[in-house]
Amino acid sequence: MGWSTCQPYPTYRHVFALPDESLARLAYYFTYSYRDWRDPRAYTRAFRQAVEAWPSAYTSSHLFFMDEATGCSSGTSGRPRANRLR
């Protein structure tokens, strides 16, 4: 995988007095680093900004989609920013 230093989230140690191996099997949440030191917050910035802006366009937007089961599908978006993000 592309991760390094993958460990159970630190709060598990405050709740469970278990060896590292047991915590690793128990945990659902982990901390980690990427081997190539990438920064996901940097390369997903434009996407996150678009998601945050979406609710503000709610009143002036429309979306049309026909189900593929009908044999015809089409989708359009009337969001003000839709064309600028492509």
Contact (Cβ atoms closer than 8 angstroms) between residue 78 and residue 59: no
Residue with tokens 């997903």: 44
Residue 86 scores a pLDDT above 50: no
**Confidence tier at 58 by pLDDT (50, 70, 90):** low
List, for residues 10-41, the tens digit of each pLDDT value: 999 999 999 999 999 999 999 888 878 778 88
Q: What is the mean pLDDT of the chain?
A: 77
Give, as one character, the DSSP assignment of residue 81.
Answer: T
5 close to 33: Cβ distance less than 8 angstroms: yes
CA distance 47 to 53: 10
Give the chain's count of helices (H) and strands (E). Answer: 4, 4
pLDDT at 52 over 80: yes
Q: Distance between CA 60 and CA 1 in Å, rounded? A: 43
